Amino acid sequence: MTAPAALGGTDQRAKLATLREELARRGVDALCIPRADEYLGEYIPAHNERLRWLTDFTGSAGMAIVTANDAAIFTDGRYTVQVRRQVDGEEYQYRQLLEEPPLQWLSEHLAAGSKVLIDPRMCTLDWYREAQEALSKADIQIVLSTDNPIDRCWTTRPAPLIKEALLLEESFTGEHSLSKRERLGKAVAEAGADAALIFAPDSISWLLNVRGRDVPRMPVLLGCALLESNGHVQLLVDERRIPEGFHEHTGPGVSIIAEDEAGRVLSGYAGKTVLADPTTANAWSQQCLEEGGATLLSGEDPVLLPKACKNTVEVAGAREAHRRDAVAEIRFLAWLDGEVAAGRYHDEGLVAERLEAFRAEGKHFHELSFDSISASAANGAMCHYNHLDSTPAPLVPDSLYLVDSGGQYSDGTTDITRTIAIGEPSQEMRELFTLVLKGHISLDRARFPRGTTGTHLDVLARQHLWQTGRDYDHGTGHGVGAFLGVHEGPQRIAKAWNRTPLAPGMIVSNEPGYYRDGAFGIRCENLCVVREAETASGEVPMLEFDALTLVPFDRRLIDSSLLSPEERQWIDDYHLRVAEEIMERLEHTDDRDWLRAATRPLS
């Protein structure tokens, strides 16, 4: 794997000066630059990486604000260390998104009567309304423009990547597109709407049983769609992305319209009620609907929940994808142990490339599901560290190596984190790893009634760290798609309130961690699927998690004295299951020997 092409250099001061000249020319006093594009997805094509071009910040979430005299960059706790390494502190103030939100900063740094330019394609309708309310109190005016000032300044902006979409067979999806559309069209009608704005590219891709190839790590078809109550769809997309056989694949009722016609189409729903999600769809698309005479019905994207609750075919595919992924991960771990034992401490880049090569040998593999987090020693303390952003560091003797990685397969998306002892770990490392693993086990063993959300369960994963005065600054679990986004809603396991109950078929991660700045990071992550629990007795039906990931945890990092008998049994049972399901899939004796040793009972 090679480093991604530069998006425009690293002279942040010069870029700021050019941007400020453009803002002055337009007569505005400030510009908001979110880490977003018009599709509001987590992964952004290179030609839309506006925040990265301006600031060199490569994180997956954040915002910069530029005024005539000041600039600030806002990130969350995952990027506290990273943002200071990448963004010039002499040019930008570092701000925490939750402690000092961007709208508060604007209100405090701009004079009454100032004008703030916002691109309505780059924010949700909810965020835009919040901005209107907050800034009007400070007598600050919002100027909307889809002519983004960054695009005027970014003279080396790469051209968009255009590739034909993949048609995903029903043997992978478990349901024909026509069936999905008719089923959800009825739900739209029952909600009191004539049509629904299907804005998120992963929702469109799932609904039409297609996958895209334009966005690295995120196999979605870029576009926007309107789902009519009769199941018909108007798909707004660059027509060059539509492959031969598309209409035969989707069935009748799908119209293809050039994406640059979106404004006209959205404005053509006069007198109709359109369901739209103000928390996920951009402000511009909903403003076009309203200005065209449509009535907006605020509600959740009707695709989100059906997409999240995988059917039996999708769950079976996920299980098989995870078995193949486990073969690659175990081969990698066996290789890595051998290299370290021989005194070869490779750098993070070479190690990540080796893991990707093992995955690439698997059936139905397309690409990684995200840039691997291959983090040696202190780099592991950065939750979203990327060795491609700088010179990869070598593995450090007697330390920890954290590797968070995954693959995109035709039958599923994988995501796994393992923390590995390099040499002889300290007793403190073993104790902290065991506390994290205890949290992982507590969440995995949970049983819960219908109606339970991930927020209700989050404390289970943190409790052992909390007892020692420790915590981690990220969510415990996220949803995962079926050959779609590695981060998928609406379900989530986190401190922050999530109102979506966990339901059978949902795939979520279980990934508590611990991070010590300047020293090391620890994370234990499996993916699991929610299923009905078998109960011999009981008055209330229960749900539970069933692990999809089948890779051993590093026994060298487990302090058995900190485990309860139930936790010890859980580890032995999990490792036995790993051995039973994966052993015969390993072709090489050395790999089988490694797995046999890695899964032997703790006692």
The per-residue pLDDT for 592 is: 98
**Spatial CB neighbours of 274, under 8 Å, sequence gap ≥ 6:** 193, 194, 195, 196, 197, 226, 289, 294, 295, 296, 297
pLDDT digits (tens, 9 = 90+) for 223-280: 999 999 999 999 999 999 999 999 999 999 999 999 999 999 999 999 999 999 999 9
**Residue 45 to residues 39, 40, 365, 472, 475: CA-CA distances in angstroms?**
10, 11, 21, 30, 25
Contact 400, 425 (CB under 8 A): yes
Q: Name 478's bridge partners.
A: 492
Tokens of 520: 């090391």
296 and 398 housed in the same domain:
no
428 and 568 housed in the same domain:
yes
193 and 319 housed in the same domain:
no
Residues 467-483: what's their mean pLDDT? 97
115 and 243 housed in the same domain:
no
Q: Is the link from the previous residue into 490 a cis peptide, with omega within 30 of 0?
A: yes
pLDDT digits (tens, 9 = 90+) for 536-568: 777 899 999 999 999 999 999 999 999 999 999
45 within a domain of the structure (yes/no): yes
The per-residue pLDDT for 4 is: 35
229 and 136 housed in the same domain:
no
Contact 232, 254 (CB under 8 A): yes
459 within a domain of the structure (yes/no): no
119 and 188 housed in the same domain:
no
How far is residue 273's CA from residue 284's CA, in Å, rounded to a whole number?
17
482 within a domain of the structure (yes/no): no
Number of domains in the chain: 3
CATH number, position 181: 3.40.350.10
496 within a domain of the structure (yes/no): no
557 and 580 housed in the same domain:
yes
The per-residue pLDDT for 10 is: 61
128 and 177 housed in the same domain:
no
How far is residue 228's CA from residue 400's CA, in Å, rounded to a whole number?
53
CATH number, position 324: 3.90.230.10
The per-residue pLDDT for 60 is: 85
Q: How many CB atoms lie within 10 A of CB 45?
A: 17
How far is residue 553's CA from residue 574's CA, in Å, rounded to a whole number?
9
Last residue of a domain, one of 274, 307, 340: 307
**Residue 278 to residues 123, 284, 549: CA-CA distances in angstroms?**
10, 11, 35
The per-residue pLDDT for 1 is: 27
How far is residue 401's CA from residue 399's CA, in Å, rounded to a whole number?
7
The per-residue pLDDT for 384 is: 83
Sign (positive or negative) of CA dihedral 499, 501, 502, 504: negative
292 within a domain of the structure (yes/no): yes
276 and 423 housed in the same domain:
no
**Spatial CB neighbours of 391, under 8 Å, sequence gap ≥ 6:** none
Q: Say if residue 468 is exposed, middle or buried (CB neighbours under 10 Å; 0-12, 13-18, 19+).
A: exposed
Q: Fill in the DSSP letter of residue 525.
A: B
pLDDT digits (tens, 9 = 90+) for 487-530: 999 999 999 999 999 999 999 999 999 999 999 999 999 999 99
57 and 94 housed in the same domain:
yes
pLDDT digits (tens, 9 = 90+) for 86-126: 999 999 999 998 889 999 999 999 999 999 999 999 999 99
425 within a domain of the structure (yes/no): yes
3 within a domain of the structure (yes/no): no
288 and 317 housed in the same domain:
no
145 and 170 housed in the same domain:
no
Residue 178 has pLDDT above 90, yes or no: yes
pLDDT digits (tens, 9 = 90+) for 182-196: 999 999 999 999 999
Last residue of a domain, one of 103, 118, 153: 153
The per-residue pLDDT for 9 is: 47
Strands (E), 483-525: 488-493, 507-510, 513-516, 520-523
Q: Which residue in this structure is represented by tokens 């630059």? A: 33
Residue 422 — very low, low, confident or very high, per pLDDT cuts 50/70/90?
very high
Helix, strand, coil in percent for the chain, rounding step 5: 40, 20, 40
pTM over 0.85: yes
493 within a domain of the structure (yes/no): no
Last residue of a domain, one of 127, 153, 179: 153
Residues 10-29: what's their mean pLDDT? 94
User: What's the domain range around 146?
Assistant: 12-153
